[in-house]
Copies of this chain bind each other. A is one copy, B any other.
Amino acid sequence: MGTVSNVLNRPEAVSPATRERVQTAIAALGFVRNESARHLRAGRSRTIGLVVLDIANPFFTDVARGVEDVAAAAGLAVMLCNSDDRADREAAHLDVLTEQRVQGVLITPTAELSPHVEALRSRGTPVVLLDRRATGPDQCAVAVDDALGGRLAADHLLERGHRRIAFIGSSGLPQVHERHDGVAAAVREGTGSTEALTVFSPAHLTVAGGREAAAQIIGLPAGRRPTAAVCANDLIALGVLQEMVRHGVRVPEDFAIVGYDDIDFAAAAAVPLTSVRKPRVELGRRAVELLLDEASDPDHQHSQPVFEPTLVVRESSMVRRPSRTVVSGGIG
């Protein structure tokens, strides 16, 4: 009935008497609007999608918190989807979101950019990349200067006297690649050598992945073993820490560790972790703001803010190496 709709949406257009009567009826019947019907009629839904790489990584739950705050304030529901860094799961989630005709999608994509993302955009659905740089100027993206982050981490270790450094992180993700490049550049400039950096690529960016990489490092002959590691995220760093401790390798005395993201658990670790801090909640908030603008403003200008990370120094890297100012990464 038209009047009911008016009572709910434009109560001022209904006489007080009728309004009252309708509201009583609504309360008595326990009537609740059917969102699907509203959506069907309106052509636009009141939901946005958020697709993350790993829901078990507190970094992403913090981002999600920022997303939910802003979305809720705008009256939007959030569908939180976990791709687990698998393209097929990501695609499946994107299909569902497409069928639901969500108003927009925030996504930290898996390694390769799925055609499903393009399909969404070509339908006119705004897509904002999260913690990932845009591939072109025609879309919004909220990113972090990961080359800088990598550089901060590496410079810190170099300053402490480390001359054989490991970078631990799978190679697929561009943001991880950027971190690696930052580390590599800093190490090259700091040591004059390209051999001072060893790269380890565990299968996943998880605690288990960290343990796996640490086991490899421990397996190296002492002379070629790195004395410190920059990890692609804090989960890896925690895994490395666990495995080192388990094998009696002292952190930071025998091996220094720097994580990335600065999740809350980094500070609570067996040895509190030095980490590269990103504005987690703010990333999420900002991403939704861009999404909302793109969805509502007809002459929306795409925007690609890049946040600056900072280094938070804690115990896991707080030792100065005996100062042999050897420049090349030779046998030590």
**What residues of chain A have their CB less than 8 Å away from a CB belonging to chain B?**
30, 32-37, 39-40, 45, 55-56, 58, 61-62, 64-65, 68, 72, 77-80, 82, 92, 95-96, 98-101, 119, 122-123, 207, 238, 241-242, 264-265, 267-272
Q: Are A98 and B32 in contact (CB under 8 A)?
A: yes
Nearest-neighbour CB distance to chain B for A122, whole angstroms, equals 7
Q: Which B residues are in CB contact (< 8 Å) with A92? A: 72
Q: Are B99 and A32 in contact (CB under 8 A)?
A: yes
Nearest-neighbour CB distance to chain B for A5, whole angstroms, equals 14
What CA separation (Å) do A32 and B270 show in the bound complex? 50
Q: Are A65 and B61 in contact (CB under 8 A)?
A: no
Q: Which B residues are in CB contact (< 8 Å) with A55? A: 61, 64-65
Q: Which B residues are in CB contact (< 8 Å) with A272? A: 270
Nearest-neighbour CB distance to chain B for A115, whole angstroms, equals 11
Q: Which B residues are in CB contact (< 8 Å) with A35? A: 36, 96, 99-101
Q: Which B residues are in CB contact (< 8 Å) with A61? A: 55-56, 61
* Apart from A36-B37, A36-B100, A78-B79, 13 more pairs, CB < 8 Å: A30-B122, A32-B95, A34-B101, A35-B96, A36-B39, A36-B40, A55-B61, A55-B65, A56-B264, A61-B61, A79-B79, A79-B80, A242-B268
Could you show 30 A-B contacts with beta carbons less than 8 Å apart? A30-B119, A30-B122, A32-B123, A34-B40, A34-B99, A35-B36, A35-B96, A35-B99, A36-B36, A36-B37, A36-B40, A36-B100, A36-B101, A37-B40, A55-B61, A55-B64, A56-B58, A56-B61, A68-B82, A78-B79, A79-B80, A80-B80, A238-B268, A241-B268, A242-B267, A242-B268, A265-B265, A269-B270, A270-B270, A270-B271
Point out which of A241, A264, A272 has the most chain B C-beta atoms below 10 A from its C-beta: A264
How many copies are assembled?
A: 2
Q: Which B residues are in CB contact (< 8 Å) with A238? A: 265, 268
Nearest-neighbour CB distance to chain B for A116, whole angstroms, equals 10
Q: Which B residues are in CB contact (< 8 Å) with A45? A: 36
Nearest-neighbour CB distance to chain B for A9, whole angstroms, equals 14
Q: Are A207 and B82 in contact (CB under 8 A)?
A: no
Nearest-neighbour CB distance to chain B for A130, whole angstroms, equals 16
List the 8 shortest-distance A-B pairs measured between CB atoms, nearest first: A35-B99, A36-B36, A80-B80, A36-B39, A36-B40, A35-B100, A238-B268, A265-B265
